[in-house]
Amino acid sequence: MPRVKRGTVRRAKRKKLLGLAKGYYANKSKLYRAAKESVDTALKYAFVGRRRKKRDFRRLWVVRINAAAREHGLTYGQLIAGLKAAGVTLDRKMLADIAVNEPASFAALAGRAKEAKSLPTPRPPRGEKAPRPAKAEKRARTAKSATEARASM
């Protein structure tokens, strides 16, 4: 197998990794092997954290909307259902921003949600067969038909 001299490539690779580990505690910023483990772990947590951030912000928005909705006599679920029924298509980020920065506008939205929620909403056709009768009803019908059959004899 031929000899491979990796002088500059190896140095560049290690220098890059030690640059990523700058500021780490003790050997983790100075020794290559320890730095590599730390940088790999840090990059893994960074990847996970970018996904967690989306969840955490949505949870924050929901908490803010719920708090503002309760000031107007609604729960979070009732507010969202009412807004959907009213045809308001604001996402949770915008609703949370309105709840914090423009309470008067949020009060108007809550009022619209209350009005829309109080109206009965028609159920969409399900496209399924009629539900089957309960066993007790079925037994009563079969017993009734059996007595009618005996009476006609």
On whether residue 90 sits in a domain, the answer given is yes
Q: Domain range holding 59? A: 10-118
On whether residue 114 sits in a domain, the answer given is yes
> Residue 131: pLDDT above 70?
no
Give the separation between CA 26 and CA 121, rounded to whole angstroms. 65
On whether residue 110 sits in a domain, the answer given is yes
On whether residue 135 sits in a domain, the answer given is no
On whether residue 125 sits in a domain, the answer given is no
pLDDT tens column, 54-92: 999 999 999 999 999 999 999 999 999 999 999 999 999
On whether residue 130 sits in a domain, the answer given is no
Residue 75, pLDDT score = 93
On whether residue 124 sits in a domain, the answer given is no
Give the separation between CA 89 and CA 80, rounded to whole angstroms. 10
Residue 126, pLDDT score = 66
pTM of the model: 0.65
Query: pLDDT tier at 141 (50, 70, 90 boundaries)?
Result: low
Q: Looking at the 3D structure of the chain, how many domains does it have?
A: 1
Residue partners of 63: CB distance under 8 A and separation at least 6: none
pLDDT tens column, 22-55: 999 999 999 999 999 999 999 999 999 999 999 9
On whether residue 47 sits in a domain, the answer given is yes
| CATH number of residue 109's parent domain | 1.10.1900.20
136 burial (CB, 10 Å; 0-12 / 13-18 / 19+) is exposed
> Residue 118: pLDDT above 70?
yes
The C-alpha angle with vertex 147 and arms to 141 and 151, in degrees rounded to 5, equals 140
> Residue 143: pLDDT above 80?
no
